Amino acid sequence: MQLKNRPKISTALAIASCSLLGHSAQVQAGEEALDDWKVDAAIMYYGEEDRVQAVEAIGNVQKAFGDESLLDMKLVVDSLTGASASGAVAQAETQTFTRPSGDGQYQTAPGETPLDDTFHDTRVQASANWAEILSPVWKTNVGVNGSKEFDYFSLGLNAGVERSFNKDNTTLVLSGAYTLDNVDPVGGRPVALSSMVLRGDYDTEEEYRAAFDQTRMEGSEDKKTMDMMLSVTQVLSRRWLFQANYGLSSVSGYMTDPYKILSQVDDTGTTQGYLYENRPDSRLKHSFYMMTKGALDAGVVDFSYRYTTDDWDLNSHTLETHYRYYFSGRFYGQVHLRYYQQQAANFYRPFLMTGEPLPEYASADYRIGDMTSYTLGLKFGQRLSGGHEMSYRLEYYQQNPENNGFDLVGQLQDHDLFPEVKAIIAQVSYSF
Amino acid sequence: MNRTIISIVIAISLSACSSLGVEPWEKDQLARADMALDSEKLDLALDDHIYFSKEGSSGGRSLAGGGCGCN
Amino acid sequence: MSIQQQRASSGFELSRRSWGHLGSFRAMASPCELLIATQDENITRAMMALATDEARRIEQKFSRFIEGNPLWQINHAAGKASPIDAETASLLQFAHQCHQLSDGRFDISAGPLMKLWRFDGGEIPKAADIEQARALVDFSKVSFNEHQLQFPAGMSLDFGGIAKEYAVDRVAYLLAEQWPAISVLVNFGGDIACPISKGASNEPWQVGIENPQRLDSAAALLEIRQGALATSGDTRRFIEKDGKRFGHIIDPRTGYPVLKAPRSVTVLAPNCVTAGMLATMAMLEGEKAEVFLSEQEVEFKCFR
């Protein structure tokens, strides 16, 4: 013991004893029951400039049954309003579109990116997961999840086994999931690559209705997803761990976005009509993910890299990091950075040309086009008494869609066909 | 190209496990709540949902699943 | 740390005094006393019931002499992880901080060394045995979090150096929470806490400190209105060999008792665990006990 440190001991002990005696006062109140439950709740706002706004509330309850079993239940409710890009290109003239339901129209001002503002929905999602420790080295979990939106229903099952090796320093997890989604779009599913009919082209409502119905198919469609993932987590040292995952996902069924369209333009870049998009009905995806996480003296840091590729030729690279610093034992700040870059799916095209033969598949949805995006986030967390924690998060997310090599003809050169999308994410969380 | 590099890394980390790691009583730092892989699971779940609906790829960190009509 | 087999008799004794009530019972191998500043017998009985229950709960949970109790299970885990509750975790956390603050001299895993230095009038242990025992003593090999605890097989934990002081504080705080207007002095074998002030208009509580040279006779009278005190001392247990006096305070880093330690150290502090730990750390300082305590800016009394 160094002499100069000595006067601190009585103070340090007094502080240590306070947490000892303060904490145990709760043991008396509820015995051990308090420790069995863990509740996390958060409310998040997501807002894009002039586009989608969403509020999402999420609650997660964990209940331990003895030392061997854990039940985890989650409920998510979100509500979306606002407009999203329909896929059509901006024009020098005012554009008129038929709403997806066929009831009514909306217009886009000259030079503006066409946005479909009919988009609003409420989603409820619930999931439950049961984890069981079978032996010191084997763990297993099974779960169900379901979600419901106005035009969408999804039900999924998942299961996993975990085996630890090498004094718990290496963990291998194999998990799988099966999800069945059902889509029942407003106004029916559009016929693939059929032309949007406009009320103005018909004399009577009946004629218009008959023509609109020609572009629609009745009934709902299914989408089936099979996921498999192999994950290895390795303790590298007293402070660092490493994780590597390989994921395989096979999707089959209806993957077309029933609300997205493509503009068909002539040599001058002027729109002659709009076609409903069409995507392949199968997709095989691979993902590779690597992450390392370190415990620092006054913080935590993680870095991750993800590569995904699929048979739509949509490849992506993601780099992400979180760095947390504890200003005191009770208060921390955290920085989040994320960079994402994707290469367009092979059937993506920002528009179609009249006179050229129609491709089998086409989509002008910028979300499957060339794009880079980045996220900058800040979070502050506060530990309250009794193990409660409150945190606040504010992030900025920007998407920069890019042209993947299409010649912009005529007036298209005058418009921003690949506008940036800027969004703010704000979140408050509470755990107890 | 990328695929090979990553599978090599996975292979290395698997074969090296017998020599990597720490003793059980050296896990004090790794046992910290903030070192758990799901230490911020609500944030991760919300982020996953945002990026799932706004970008063309998903999953990687955990199972991608379906369950959202946004993409 | 010996003769602990004698189990406390159930119940407690109560007698009326001019200033209130004196209640007593046995727990943790010590006479336990509560001085309660109220004439209300119902309240006094409720307080005594709470105090005996809590003291025995802690003894039952943390005594290393009770087969099958939570500590016994931890000590018999043979290197495997044991589940622990929040209370055990916070005691471990406190022991961990004390281990660090004392540069490894306060160590609740020092049991194997203590066992060698039994002080039953016998010999000094062999150096080889001490080395063997020392290999099993090192709190930094104990890993724990809020839910579980793990240490290498062969090691063991002993909360003897904390549990009694902890029990005193727990009882004192529980009583203060429920009866915030009544001053109570909790005294478990010389470890004392009194969180609620006796009040300026009343006589302070008077506590006698044992004189290590003349056992069972008070050598000094301390007056307490509020606060806590604890005593660490080798009043009864020591070995004298070749003119050297080996006390019962063992330095786990050397494996030998601390030389030139005071016979007893009494420290006043805001609560009993702090007082107890400062007294123990002062003993571990040996010759420099008084210097150490004056630097801590606490009131204390050393007997040499």
Residue A294, pLDDT score: 95
Report the percentage of chain C scoring pLDDT > 70.
Answer: 85
CB atoms inside a 10 Å sphere around CB A432: 14
* B vs C: CB pairs below 8 A: 24
- Mean pLDDT along residues C17-22: 86
Q: Annotated binding residue at C154?
A: no
Supply the pTM of this predicted model.
0.62
User: Which residue in chain C has the smallest CA separation from A16?
Assistant: C94
C97 with A3: Cβ contact below 8 A: no
Judge: A3–C295 Cβ closer than 8 Å, yes or no: yes
Domain residue limits, chain C: 11-64+158-195, 70-156, 204-304
By C-alpha distance, the chain C residue nearest B28 is: C143
Tell me, yes or no, if C89 comes closer than 8 A to chain B by beta carbon.
Answer: no
pLDDT tens column, A256-306: 999 999 999 999 999 999 999 999 999 999 999 999 999 998 899 999 999
Architecture field, domain C11-64+158-195: Roll (3.10)
* Residue C161, marked binder: yes
Nearest to A243 by CA among C303, B5, B6, C35: B6
Instruction: Report d(CA A309, CA A317) in Å as an integer.
Output: 9
The whole-number pLDDT of residue A27 equals 34
pLDDT digits (tens, 9 = 90+) for C89-136: 889 999 998 998 888 889 999 888 888 877 665 677 888 888 888 888
Q: From chain B, pick out residues whose CB is under 8 angstroms from the CB of C140.
A: 25
Kindly provide the ipTM of the predicted complex, given to two decimals: 0.88
Q: How far is C266 from chain A (nearest CA, A)?
A: 14
* Mean predicted lDDT score pLDDT of chain A: 90
Asked if residues C275 and C282 have their Cβ atoms less than 8 Å apart, the reply is no
Mutate to test the interface with A, among C295, C297, C299, C300 (most CBs of A within 10 A): C295
Best mutation target among A8, A9, A297 (most C Cβ atoms within 10 Å) is A9
Shortest alpha-carbon distance between residue B22 and chain C (Å): 12
* CB-nearest partner of A32 from C85, C269, C292: C85
Which of B60-64, C9-13, C204-208, C254-258 is predicted least confidently?
C9-13
Query: DSSP string of A381-404?
Result: EEE-GGG-EEEEEEEEEEEEE---
The token pair that represents C43 in the structure block? 């309240």
Q: What is the bridge-based pairing of β-strands A261-265 and A352-353?
A: parallel
For C152, which residue in chain B has the nearest alpha carbon? B25
Q: Where are the domains of chain B?
A: 29-56
Q: Tens digits of per-residue pLDDT, B18-38?
A: 467 776 556 667 877 788 888
Q: Which residue of A has its CA nearest to C148?
A: A67
| Measured CA distances, C227 to A23, A292, C135, C184, C264 (Å) | 20, 49, 39, 11, 20
Contact B71 A247 (CB under 8 A): no
Distances (CA, A) of C256 to A147, B21, C130, C139: 67, 35, 8, 17
Provide the angle, in degrees to the nearest 10, between the axes of the packed helices C163-178 and C41-62: 150
Buried b (16+ CB within 10 A) or exposed e, A240-262: bbbbbbbbebebebbbbbbbbbb
Chain B hits for A166, CB-CB cut-off 8 Å, are: 17-18, 20-21
Domain C70-156 adopts which CATH fold?
A: T-fold (1.10.3980)
Asked if residues C256 and C219 have their Cβ atoms less than 8 Å apart, the reply is: no
Q: How far is the C-alpha of A131 from the C-alpha of A382, rounded, in Å?
A: 29
Comparing CA positions, the residue from A125, A28, A143 lying closest to residue A76 is A125
* Residues in chain B within 8 Å Cβ distance of C79: 24
* Any B CB within 8 A of C81 CB: yes
Contacts of B28 in chain A (CB under 8 A): 238
CB of C152 less than 8 A from some CB of B: yes
Query: Closest residue of B to C138, CA-based?
Result: B25
Are A15 and A23 in contact by the 8 Å Cβ rule? The answer is no
- Please list every residue in chain C whose beta carbon sits closer than 8 Å to the beta carbon of residue A67: 83, 147
Say what the pLDDT of residue C3 is: 32
CA distance C141 to chain B (A): 5
Q: B57, A287: Cβ pair inside 8 Å? A: yes
Position A253 pLDDT exceeds 50: yes
Does the fold of domain C204-304 match that of domain C11-64+158-195? yes
The 10s digit of each residue's pLDDT in A336-356 is 999 999 999 999 999 999 989
Pick the CATH number of A37-431 from 1.20.950, 2.30.30, 3.40.50, 2.40.160: 2.40.160
- Give rounded-to-5 percent helix, strand, coil for chain A: 15, 55, 30
Q: pLDDT tens digit string along A198-245?
A: 999 999 999 999 999 999 998 889 999 999 999 999 999 988 999 999
Over the Cα atoms of chain B, what is R_g?
Answer: 17
Interface of B with A in 29-58 (CB under 8 A): 29-30, 32, 34-35, 37, 39-43, 45-46, 49-51, 54-58
Please tell me which chains touch C, using 3 or more CB pairs under 8 Å as the contact test: A, B
Among chain C residues, the shortest Cα distance to A35 is held by C86
| Mutation for testing the C interface, residue in B23, B25, B27, B28 having most C CBs under 10 Å | B25
- What is the spatial distance between Cα C158 and Cα C250, in angstroms, rounded to a whole number? 14
CB contact under 8 A, B57 and A285: yes
For residues A138-146, average pLDDT: 93
Give me the CATH topology for the region C204-304.
T-fold (3.10.520)
CA distance C291 to C302: 11
Q: Is B25 within 8 Å of C141 when comparing Cβ atoms?
A: yes
Looking at chain B, which subunits does it touch, using at least 3 CB pairs closer than 8 Å as the criterion?
A, C
Mean of all residue pLDDT scores within chain C = 82
Using the predicted structure, report yes or no on whether residue A409 has a pLDDT greater than 80: yes
CA C12 to chain centroid, in Å, comes to 21
**DSSP for A198-239, written as a single string:** -GGG-SSHHHHHHHHHHTEE-S-EEEEEEEEEEEEEEE-SSS
pLDDT (0 to 100) of residue C282:
92
- Nearest to residue A341, comparing CAs of A307, A366, A290? A307
Nearest to A392 by CA among A10, A55, A152, A42: A42
Which of C261, C272, C269, C266 has the alpha carbon at shortest distance from C300? C266
pLDDT of residue A211: 94
